Amino acid sequence: MSSGDARRTALRTDTVSIISMEIIDNALEYLIPGAMSATLNTWLFYWSLALSLGVAFLVTVPVNRFMMVRFSIGHGNH
């Protein structure tokens, strides 16, 4: 893979991965009562952050897997 192809692939896959993770993370933070106004010294801040990032990770893994299979990217696919 050329360096230009590698840059384009990285930009495409990282953009999709980050967008999908942020959508889930932000939606859950919005849906958890009080999470948007929680401060650093409250358990709700850390609990809601851990929960939303954990769920976002679980949703993003299949998205990344799909992109690896669909675009034939990843280890051993060159």
- Give residue-wise pLDDT tens across range 9-41: 778 888 888 898 899 989 998 999 999 999 999
- Report the pLDDT value the prediction gives residue 74, as an integer from 0 to 100: 59
Rounded to an integer, what distance in angstroms lies between the CA atom of residue 17 and that of residue 12?
A: 9
- Give residue-wise pLDDT tens across range 44-71: 999 999 999 899 889 888 888 888 787 7
Q: Is the pLDDT of residue 78 over 80?
A: no
Output the CA–CA distances (angstroms, integers) from residue 30 to 21, 24, 27, 39, 52, in the order listed. 14, 10, 5, 15, 10
- Report the pLDDT value the prediction gives residue 75, as an integer from 0 to 100: 55
Q: Is the pLDDT of residue 43 over 90?
A: yes
Residues in the chain: 78
- Report the pLDDT value the prediction gives residue 63, as an integer from 0 to 100: 84
CB atoms within 10 A of CB 71: 12
Rounded to an integer, what distance in angstroms lies between the CA atom of residue 4 and that of residue 27?
A: 34
